[in-house]
Structure 1
Amino acid sequence: MTSHKTGTREEWLAARLELLDAEKELTRRGDEVSRRRQELPWVRVDKDYRFETGEGAASLADLFGGRSQLLVYHFMFGPDYRAGCPSCSAIADGFNGFAVHLAGHGVTLCAVSRAPLEKIRAYQRRMGWTFPWASAYGSDFNFDFGVAHTKEEWAAGAVRYNFGEQDLRPAAGEQAASDAFTESIVGTNWETYRREGPGMSAFALQDGAVYHAYSTYARGLDILWGMYQWLDRAPLGRNESGMWWRRHDEYDND
């Protein structure tokens, strides 16, 4: 016998129609936020960032792949990681499917990480992904766009992330547990792991100049987690405690 509230079909329909009003309001609010997002002023990017790709060395403009818009997912995969972040990997599992549709609409989707290209390509083969993925190893790109943090920031407890400062160091007595956790998922200690952060940035290319249009971090990335959009509509919702997901090749087959 379920412990969840039950009712008649008529009661369900009345409650569903009430919820529908709230969903429609959320949709209208989302449309307004999207409009304001597109109205943000663009900032010209004059710094000469260099990347390594499967096709060789590339500039930021090269990452557009001949299109006028570029969406960069800042994938947490630092130079000392053994494997890519499981959370970023869960998000990236959806990239293959919709990258082709974005490309057909003049938008290139590309992941960027600080790991060397050979590490990225090996992990990409393991995951079965084909979307573009560039290495920013040795570049300031991820630092400048708020997803890589210096040792000095870390030591001061003032990591600049999500448009503010945060102290990402473990609380007293939690260092060993934090190190053990990150060692198990990416092969590094906590500091090495969290001196990287997830995010996405949008760029435009006009008349040969690159412009930064938008960036978001933390819960601003929720919409990119395809599995969460499904779970939010499942009977028990997210129904989670801690980090339950894994890389897609790490689940049991039964």
Structure 2
Amino acid sequence: MPKIKTVRGIENRKVVSQKEWLVARKKLLVKEKKFSKLRDELNLQRRKLAWVKIEKEYVFDGPTGKVTLGDLFFGKSQLIIYHFMFGPGWKEGCPHCSFWADHYDSVNIHIGQRDTTFAVISRAPLTEIEPFKKRMGWRFKWLSSFNTDFNFDFNVSFTPEQIKSGVLPYNYGKFKMKIDEYQGVSALYRDKNGDIYHTYSAYARGIDLMNTTYNFLDLTAKGRDENPDATQDWVRYHDQYKGASKDCCA
């Protein structure tokens, strides 16, 4: 009986004939198909959520100057924004957000064919973002919301008063934690009149769908094989893994 080493210890795996394996695989396939249909239903409900019109004018700092929220659509009707944890004064962006961000450049090519564009926004000044972005080799649009209310309005940055209270408004609840930045993703829609609407936001485990690495690992015998008490303690910046290339796509 094969043994595999996981974070939970040594585990045994049963070995059967191809015929027995096929019976078990088909049984699992029934559950997978049911899950796929449930996911389709959930996606439909997400698309049918009511919208909130964005009345505030947000202006960000970009590599070529000031950029409005409307500018980020680049002629498309849909915009996805990743709220990247990178606060003012930080030496580096969040390593876990960086893990997610390593997947974005390839996806960005394809979503553009579906009337959708993508941008990353952080509260750190652009002068702090750009050296880190260059080091990571990323090409996606990354803007600074420094000196705007954007991050606070989307509940991914928190005021000193909120932090002092120890109770932060995050993921549609109140959480006891002391941190000034957190991650999330938001979807926006811009109509022909130029009006912009907030259609969806997700936080915490809600952003798992954006991480292709996890989707690959979920297919394997070990799965994600993460420490349940610190699920991403294995994650490093892609240029810090042993034998890593400086190119995130190499």
User: Fold conserved (TM > 0.5)?
Assistant: yes
- Equivalent position of 2:247 in the other structure: none
Distance 1:87 1:11 in 2: 40
Partner of 2:97: 88
- Are residues 1:203 and 2:185 paired? no
CA contact (8 A) 1:154 1:167 kept: no
Match of 1:239 among 217, 222, 225: 225
The residue number in structure 2 matching 1:20 is 29
Partner of 1:7: 16
1:173-203 deviations in whole A, cap 9, x for unaligned? xxxxxxxxxxxxxxxxxxxxx3101100000
Residue 186 of structure 2 aligns to a residue whose secondary structure is: strand
Aligned to 1:253: 243
For 1:155, which of 150, 157, 164 is the aligned residue? 164
* TM-score w.r.t. length of structure 2: 0.89
Letter in 1 for 2:218: D
Deviations 1:39-96 (A, max 9, x none): 0111110101110111210111111122111000000011121101111001110111
Code of the aligned partner of 1:45: I
Unaligned residue ranges in structure 1 (runs of 5+): 170-193
Q: d(CA) in 1 for partners of 2:55 and 2:204?
A: 27
Identity %: 41
1:36 paired with 2:36, answer no
**1:132 equivalenced with 2:141 (yes/no):** yes
Q: Which has the higher helix share?
A: 1
Contact map agreement 1:232 1:238 (CA 8 A) in 2:
yes
Aligned mate of 1:74, from 69, 83, 95 = 83
Scaled by the length of structure 1, the TM-score of the pair is 0.88
Deviation string, structure 1 residues 102-122 (Cα, Å, up to 9, x no partner): 112211110000011121111
- Regions of 4+ moved over 2 Å: none
Cα displacement (A) at 1:5? 2.0
Matched, 1:49 2:58: yes
Deviation per CA, 1:127-147, whole angstroms, max 9, x where unpaired?
111011110011110100011
* Unaligned ranges ≥5, structure 2: 4-11, 245-250
**27-36 vs 6-15, which deviates more?**
6-15
Letter of the 1:224 counterpart: M
1-structure distance, mates of 2:161, 2:44: 38
Task: State the 1:9 CA deviation.
Answer: 1.3
Rounded to whole Å, the distance in 2 between the matches of 1:19 and 1:89 is 34
Q: Is the 8 A contact 1:81 1:115 kept in 2?
A: yes
1:109 aligned partner: 118
RMSD (CA atoms): 1.1
Q: 1:163 offset after TM fit, Å?
A: 0.2
Which letter maps to 1:252? K
Distance 2:110 2:154 in 1: 26
Q: Distance in 2 between matches of 1:120 and 1:21?
A: 46
- Tell me the distance in 2 between the aligned counterparts of 1:231 and 1:135: 32
